[in-house]
């Protein structure tokens, strides 16, 4: 498969470079999918070779003793162990998103001219509203918390946008503010902000500065097409011909834009908007000298697996020990009776006895361990305690504690001053 990359020669994007970056991104996509599955926790994820399908995605982190089928001495199957999954990761991500973007964001211009300031704020407001408004920002924050970073791509029709800008300028020179406003609002339809999932897009960084993006590549899955009958595919395989993957590849730089559908160049544009790359890269938590940011999911995976393991162990223990069992000796016909309130067992056998055993018992070590795992999740997560308190309805308690702490601090300062 060949690419016509002559327009990108100035930034060093060659056939070999592009194929290498494509391979690296496909390998990284597997890691991104794992992060997404731990956040989304879909319930139809297969358990690979250990069992069938039907368990949540986070069950893949459970030990084999909970997932492998159990057998008795006579090789008869026994009931499967109970699996308990508590998705603490999704709760923390959603809490953070709701806390940060709980209401719309207003962008104010600092331009000195009042009319210019009004036009700038109008443009930004309309562009954000057309992108999705508050819901768009929440989706943006969700991807950033999961994957560590997300990208915003500004799509535009450059030729039509330049023509619309000329119309706005003519109306302003003629002193017709209303006409300029109408032209400006009409031109905003040519702008669209697209949220790019890290599984779809990645950057080709500069060889001289890792903070500078030379080009951006976006992969989009296309609907699969029929590839002919089996004989044609066999002949192509014997001839060494490989079919192009069912995906669209977009390559964007400051000066060029190309679109490849199934390996074939379908669209090309030379000259970008003002010679700038229309990409905004935002990291959740920055990492030194790396393009990828650090998200909320990855540091919590090991602790989430430990929590799910202990909760599943406790569920199995409760199942086996919650109900009392009885060992009856010397009572005839007990196999036809059952245990229940108001029942009386009687026998003439003086050696008969009924012994109760089982029943749930206190396990302070288990409770302490689960509490410590939850505390470790709090420490590893960047969700502020105040956000968790608001979501859990403990805002009044948190505020009271803050007020008490403030009074103590004030009293301490007064005591220090009097001394």
For residue 405, pLDDT beyond 70: no
Of residues 274, 293, 131, the one with CA closest to residue 211: 293
**Same structural domain for residues 395 and 271?**
no
Mean pLDDT over all residues of the chain?
Answer: 78
Which of these, 100, 112, 88, lies nearest to 139 by C-alpha position? 100
Residue 358 in tokens? 């089982």
Residue 147 covered by a domain:
yes
From 246, 274, 296, the end of a domain falls on 296
Give the CA dihedral 12, 15, 19, 22, nearest 10 degrees.
50
> Is 126 a domain residue?
yes
Residue 396 shares a structural domain with residue 281:
no
Residue 12 lies in a domain: yes
Domain membership of residue 72 (yes or no) is: no
Count how many Cα atoms sit within 13 Å of the Cα of residue 174 in the half-sphere of its side chain: 12
> Tens of pLDDT along 24-50?
898 999 999 999 999 999 886 554 444
Residue 215 domain flag: yes
369-408 burial, b for 16+ CB within 10 Å, e for fewer?
Answer: bbeebeeebeebbebeeebbbbbeeeeeeeeeeeeeeeee
Q: What are phi and psi of 317, to 5 degrees?
A: -65, -45
Closest to 87 measured CA to CA, from 296, 305, 299, 294: 305
Tell whether the torsion through CA atoms of 207, 197, 223 and 25 is positive or negative. positive
Is 61 among the domain residues? no
Residue 305, pLDDT above cutoff 90: yes
Residue 75 resides in a domain: no
Q: Which range marks the domain in which residue 398 is found?
A: 384-419
For residue 189 the two structure tokens come to 């339809």
98-117, pLDDT tens digit by residue?
A: 888 888 888 888 888 888 88
Residues 292 and 411 in one domain: no
CB 153 within 8 A of CB 278: yes
Token match 């040519």: residue? 190
Residue 12 confidence class, pLDDT cut points 50, 70, 90: confident
Q: Is the dihedral of CA 379, 385, 388, 389 positive or negative?
A: positive
Q: Which of 240, 263, 296 is the last residue of a domain?
A: 296
Report pLDDT digits (tens) over 131-188. 888 899 999 999 999 999 999 998 876 666 666 666 777 777 777 777 777 777 777 7
The Cα–Cα gap between 59 and 68 comes to 12
Total domains in the fold of the chain: 2
Which of 296, 327, 355 is at the close of a domain?
296
Domain assignment present for 56: no
For the chain, the straight-line distance linking the first and the last C-alpha, in angstroms and rounded, comes to 82
């Amino acid at each position: 498969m060949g690419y016509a990359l002559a327009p990108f020669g100035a930034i060093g994007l060659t056939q070999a470079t592009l194929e290498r970056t494509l391979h690296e991104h496909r390998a990284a996509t597997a890691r991104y999918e794992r992060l997404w599955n731990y956040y989304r926790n879909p319930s139809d994820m297969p358990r690979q070779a250990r069992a069938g399908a039907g368990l949540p995605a986070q069950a893949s982190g459970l030990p084999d003793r909970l997932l492998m089928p159990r057998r008795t001495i006579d090789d008869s199957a026994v009931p499967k162990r109970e699996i308990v999954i508590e998705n603490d990761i999704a709760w923390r991500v959603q809490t953070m998103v709701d806390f940060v973007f709980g209401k719309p964001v207003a962008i104010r211009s600092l331009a000195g001219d009042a009319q210019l300031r009004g036009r700038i704020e109008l443009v930004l407001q309309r562009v954000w509203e057309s992108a999705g408004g508050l819901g768009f920002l929440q989706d943006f924050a969700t991807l950033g918390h999961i994957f560590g970073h997300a990208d915003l791509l500004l799509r535009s029709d450059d030729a039509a946008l330049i023509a619309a800008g000329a119309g706005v300028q003519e109306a302003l020179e003629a002193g017709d503010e209303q006409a300029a406003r109408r032209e400006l609002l009409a031109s905003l339809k040519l702008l669209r902000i697209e949220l790019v999932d890290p599984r779809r897009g990645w950057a080709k960084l500069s060889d001289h500065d890792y903070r500078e993006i030379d080009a951006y590549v976006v992969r989009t899955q296309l609907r699969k097409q029929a590839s002919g009958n089996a004989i044609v595919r066999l002949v192509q395989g014997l001839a060494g011909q490989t079919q192009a993957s069912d995906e669209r590849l977009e390559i964007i730089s400051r000066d060029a834009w190309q679109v490849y559908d199934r390996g074939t160049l379908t669209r090309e544009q030379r000259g970008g908007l003002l010679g700038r790359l229309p990409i905004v890269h935002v990291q959740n938590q920055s990492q030194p000298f790396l393009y990828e940011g650090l998200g909320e999911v990855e540091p919590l995976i090991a602790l989430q697996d430990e929590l799910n393991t202990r909760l599943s162990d406790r569920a199995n223990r409760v199942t086996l020990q919650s109900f009392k069992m009885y060992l009856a000796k010397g009572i005839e016909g007990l196999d036809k009776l059952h245990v229940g309130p108001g029942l009386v067992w009687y026998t003439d056998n003086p050696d008969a006895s009924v012994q109760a055993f089982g029943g749930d018992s206190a396990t302070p070590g288990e409770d302490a361990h689960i509490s410590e795992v939850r505390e470790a999740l709090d420490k590893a997560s960047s969700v502020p305690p105040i956000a968790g308190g608001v979501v859990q309805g403990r805002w009044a308690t948190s505020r009271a504690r803050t007020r008490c702490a403030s009074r103590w601090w004030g009293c301490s300062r007064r005591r220090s001053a009097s001394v």
